[in-house]
Homo-oligomer: A and B are copies of this chain.
């Protein structure tokens, strides 16, 4: 396959085509948009084994994982299509006129409308679920926005096959050409041209802090700034309270060895920081976790750039004063593999060294040893924004550590009790987002159908006749959606 970089001078033409398509696509009903998204799911299934084999070659991910991820992506597309059609995300709201109020209250109705063309940057670690036909694309299409995807340069052929599936689905649903565009390019300039184009109205991104922050800065420096939803990573701290840890240090070590090394540590929710209080139980936990890490087989990482970054960042962390290696896999690594590794440092060392707060993307975790609960609280208070945080605690410990719980709530988007952070359920109650620097906009999720709202904004229609209103706001509620009518949630007609 010859997937040359999209020439920069072609980008304007693509954006113009997307803008033209926007004016057609935005008027498609919720049902029509949902049908399109469901067609993408069908076409993705139709790609069959070719897609899986191409992705295996390009990403080094194992077959079972990729089959699972395609299944998840299809589920995601269908569930966002359902949510699109249910229409709650529109936040439809009606206040009827009160002519004899002084001054007279006019009829005012509000709903979300699509923002315009959305540029999506595919991720490297989820070649299906967060790439060409991934969550950002599905959400933007549900919102009524055309999508321009820049394929991740690490898996262009996989992306190409998926893009073809979307083109087929668009044709099947008689949608205009510009409703979906797929461009290629590893260069800085391609991304910049897309984000700074005046017809781009929002950006979705999953990747590194450096990449996401650059897009965010470009977007805010535009004449018309636009929102950037960049999910940039996280160290996902885990707080092990002593009573809980003492109850089962070996079991917790086993669970965390699995979570740290799952998918060669290439998940944004990988637990990169384990914070505990010095004790015999912590020694047992550290020992057992080390043993499990020693026995974990290294595996190939997604691409050469990720292996290089992992080696460098991990190497750098281990070179810091008072950071000690606990264990690494006993199996020698090949050039393209990531070596599972656990290290440890005191809370004092951690608090005084900002470098140790940074994510090391891969199968690595740092155990922070605190002298006492006060020091653990101090660590929590000094962490940056995180996608997730986890607390391992007994019921009595939960009652005694209210301040720690509040501090952790301040910094995370999802707070797990007695579990592991890896595994992100696709459902309406999932928030996959978090305070900066884990994302650029803590108010929105990139997993679950609430993510549709990222690509829409409210408009109020004042004094419009019923027949001129969109179906979503008509008196008779022809779509049967939930609406607020004079401040009361209801499906009833006005």
Contacts and interface: CB of A to CB of B under 8 A. Distances in A.
A181 interface: no
Interface stretch (A311-319, A334-342, A368-376, A416-424): A416-424
B427 A462 contact: no
B429 A484 contact: yes
Interface stretch (A45-53, A109-117, A123-131, A271-279): A109-117
Contact of A427 (B95, B115, B482): B95
A412 B105 contact: no
Interface in A61-116: 86, 88, 91, 93-95, 103, 105-106, 108-110, 113, 115-116
A49 to B, nearest CB: 22
A272 B217 CA distance: 33
Contacts of A216: 220, 225
A103 B420 CA distance: 13
A441 B416 CA distance: 31
A23 interface: yes
Given A216-B225, A423-B103, A489-B482, A430 B108 contact: yes
Interface in A412-438: 412-419, 423, 425, 427-431, 433, 435-437
A431 B460 contact: yes
Interface stretch (A33-41, A293-301, A463-471): A463-471
Given A108-B429, A225-B436, A427-B108, A413 B468 contact: no
Q: How many subunits of this chain does the assembly comprise?
A: 2
A154 to B, nearest CB: 26
Contact of A398 (B414, B416, B418, B468): B468
B418 A463 contact: yes
A460 B95 contact: no
A458 interface: yes
A460 B429 contact: yes
A452 to B, nearest CB: 13
Contact of A459 (B412, B461, B482): B412
Interface of A: 23, 26-27, 86, 88, 91, 93-95, 103, 105-106, 108-110, 113, 115-116, 216-217, 220, 224-225, 227, 384-385, 395, 398, 403, 406, 409-410, 412-419, 423, 425, 427-431, 433, 435-437, 440-443, 445, 450, 453, 456-465, 468, 482, 484, 487, 489
Given A103-B423, A417-B468, A425-B105, A385 B224 contact: yes
Contacts of A460: 413-415, 429-431
A468 B435 CA distance: 23
B429 A457 contact: no
B461 A225 contact: no
Contact of A419 (B106, B406, B435): B106
Contact of A428 (B23, B86, B403, B484): B484
A418 B413 CA distance: 45
A187 to B, nearest CB: 25
Given A108-B427, A413-B459, 16 more contacts: A27-B406, A86-B487, A105-B425, A108-B430, A110-B429, A110-B430, A216-B225, A224-B384, A225-B440, A227-B443, A395-B465, A414-B460, A416-B462, A435-B457, A442-B457, A450-B458
A410 B115 CA distance: 8
Q: Which of A103, A417, A445 has the most CB of B within 10 A?
A: A417
Contacts of A461: 414-415, 417
